[in-house]
Amino acid sequence: MDIAFHGLAGLALSKALTGEYLPSAALFSMLPDLGAVPHFYHSVKNSSKISLKHFTGDYMGINYRGKFLSDFDRNIYWSTHSLFSLIPVSLIAFFIFGNIWWILSLSYLSHLIIDAFTHEHEASFHPLWPLSDWSISGKSYSSNKNVLFLSWFTLLVILLLQ
């Protein structure tokens, strides 16, 4: 899902677990998409600069296909979306944030679980990468409006009920 969705999902999770909205939970739930920065950078770089219309068409086309532009971009993305990334993330959370480390780790994990249902093709969830490239594929939120609508509707209902 998009970065705003993940941030709000982290807030909802922290509220459910602690009774408070923790900004740090929002931050940790968005962290895995740091691994998408090289892909977005290269998507922008490889999109036409003739006009905004051409740029938007190229950019959307690149991202609609669900394929990375290079192995480097893909490997960085899969690294931050692997269950193994939870180990350093949990250690960092523990040493910086102390006793709420497990909430922050769960926030990070929530991102991976949400993406498992809302990403497909090369951007699907690769939980055991780099040991295995086995993946769990959902339905892409960027090419399926029902997935986008249902996900946001569910999250907003949860937030309103808290």
List contacts with Zn ion (CB under 5 A).
32-33, 115
Taking the least distance from each CB to Zn ion, the nearer of 77 and 101 is 77
Angle between helices 145-161 and 3-18 (to 10 degrees): 30
Record the tokens describing residue 89, joined without a space: 């993330």
**Are the beta carbons of 40 and 2 closer than 8 angstroms?**
no
The one-character DSSP state at 127 is T
Taking the least distance from each CB to Zn ion, the nearer of 33 and 73 is 33
Taking the least distance from each CB to Zn ion, the nearer of 73 and 115 is 115
**Are the beta carbons of 22 and 63 closer than 8 angstroms?**
no
CB of 160 to Zn ion, least distance (A): 24
3-state helix, strand, coil in the chain (%, to 5): 75, 0, 25
CB of 9 to Zn ion, least distance (A): 11
CB of 120 to Zn ion, least distance (A): 13
CB of 33 to Zn ion, least distance (A): 5
Taking the least distance from each CB to Zn ion, the nearer of 7 and 32 is 32
